[in-house]
Amino acid sequence: MAELSKQKRPIRLIAGDIIRIWSAMGKGVNYAAKPYLTAMLSLESGDESYGYDSAASVLAYGLSNMRSFRGPEAKALKAELKAHIR
């Protein structure tokens, strides 16, 4: 059972949670982060590609555009995304 808890969640699920939570905060998803989150919805892991871009690139640029997504949930979700880059 301990092995299951160490597995990374798919990027698409994390991105879905970010969109849902950020939208519920009232202002909606930042326009600059939206295309990256949309791309993340089709990714499972950091080893994949989205078009000509690596998943790591999509994640890095997406995270840089998520600066206005704040709070404890945001911090945890961003940490999950960062774990896919490493």
Partner residues linked to 50 by β-bridges: 53
Please name which of 42, 43, 16, 11 lies closest in space to residue 29, comparing C-alpha atoms: 16
Positive or negative: CA dihedral 51, 83, 67, 40: positive
- CA 36 to chain CA centroid, Å, is 8
What pLDDT score does 4 carry?
44
Could you report the per-residue pLDDT of 22-60, keeping only the tens digit for each? 999 988 999 999 999 999 999 999 999 999 999 999 999
Q: Are 43 and 11 in contact (CB under 8 A)?
A: yes
pTM for the model: 0.89
Cα separation, 34 vs 58, in Å, equals 11
**pLDDT tens digits for range 63-76:** 999 999 999 999 99
